[in-house]
Structure 1
Amino acid sequence: MVQAAGVAAMVTAYFLLPLDRLGPDRPALSWILFCLALALIALLLLRQVVHVLLDRPDVRPGLVIPLLMSLSVLVFATAYQALAQHPGELDGIATRLDALYFTLVTLATVGYGDITPHGQAARLVTVLQILYTFVFLTAAATALTHHLRAALLRQRGPHRHDTPTADADSGPE
């Protein structure tokens, strides 16, 4: 429930925050913010992955990982929206919804072809998104799955189905 509220708040902020100052008017600021945001999210995701691998009981990867994954999607969507303001970079992105759509289509490796990165900067961001997905989002999703599986096994407790029955313990007659 908390994750859904957090994701809803982030998506609402994505659509409402004034991001007009990013893009071709301030390319240095745009690239710095983009790189810093991705680096920070990557570090936080890797921290969660390590905590899951170390089986730290005091962390909440089920809460944090989905929020960080959602935030990374929104960072890429914001970058695409900013790039689309420069003619010739991204054909087909006119709105923030278009940018979010393209981000999710790229993330899912569907690639409908209705939005295409033509400029070098747009292609660079697309390549970065693919690599970021392979490394960070895949590791985070794997860690989250591992964490959830371990939590389910702990909930089952000693009533597991693979315990020997009395017939198996009686031995040969």
Structure 2
Amino acid sequence: MEESGGRRSASHARAWLLLAPLVLGLFVAYFLLPVRVLGPQRPELSWTVFGLVLTVIAVLLLKHMRDALFDRPGTAVALVSLMCLTVLVFSSAYFVISHDPGEFQGLRTRLDALYFTLLTLATLSYGDIAPRGQSARLVILLQILYTFVFLTAAATSLTGRLRRTAAGGPPRGAARDGDDRGPG
């Protein structure tokens, strides 16, 4: 049994080592991908891509939240990565929308969009960027709802998973040695 625990620890360590390059890759892609093909010139395509990407991320978040309950390897890294991806998707949406005159005041760059996304996520506002149009306000409402439902649940799953790992207890669903009562 000890050998499988050692393999499990090595697997967890490898997964965490992947997190930094993965998140770095997401941020590099965010700053380099040509999102200008979307926007006010192609609103149907823009909203469709936005909706599909958020749906795929939501499905993956739900899958990895379930996996976190059973302490499957790699779930914590997957959850952190998907949470970062969610922030970048909303940030990209704000950046694309900002190219439609009258939607945002003060949002001109991708860094502005990322800054605004994180402020919205943290429910803060400095007043330097303000939504003016209906599309901008709709995406803000979607971000708030998406955060409330999916990111809060993912963060709760992640912290529970990390807490169980730090406590050194057996994975959920696995019986303790000498304890035939099962999880409890």
Q: What TM-score comes out, normalization by structure 2 length? A: 0.80
**Is residue 74 of structure 2 the alignment partner of residue 60 of structure 1?**
yes
- Distance in 2 of aligned mates of 1:6 and 1:155: 28
- Cα deviations by residue, 1:72-92 (Å, 9 ceiling, x for unpaired): 000001100110000111111
How big is the shift at 1:126?
0.1
Matches within 5 A, 1:149-164: 149-154=163-168
Do 2:68 and 2:76's aligned partners in 1 also have CA atoms closer than 8 Å?
Answer: no
Q: What TM-score comes out, normalization by structure 1 length? A: 0.85
Q: Report the secondary structure of 1:110's partner residue.
A: coil
- Distance in 1 of aligned mates of 2:72 and 2:84: 23
Matches within 5 A, 1:28-43: 28-43=44-59
Higher-Rg structure is 1
Q: Report the secondary structure of 1:34's partner residue.
A: helix
Q: Report the secondary structure of 2:112's partner residue.
A: helix
Matched residue, 1:163: none
Work out which of the residue numbers 89, 92, 113 in structure 2 matches 1:99.
113
How big is the shift at 1:118?
1.0
**Is residue 137 of structure 2 the alignment partner of residue 128 of structure 1?**
no
Name stretches of at least 5 consecutive residues in structure 2 with no aligned partner.
1-16, 171-184
Name stretches of at least 5 consecutive residues in structure 1 with no aligned partner.
157-173
- Cα deviations by residue, 1:97-126 (Å, 9 ceiling, x for unpaired): 111110011011111111111111100000
- Distance in 1 of aligned mates of 2:128 and 2:26: 26
Counterpart amino acid of 1:102? F
Aligned residues: 154
- Distance in 2 of aligned mates of 1:3 and 1:52: 16
How big is the shift at 1:135?
0.7
Q: Which runs of 4+ in 1 moved over 6 A?
A: none
Matched residue, 1:161: none
Identity in percent: 53
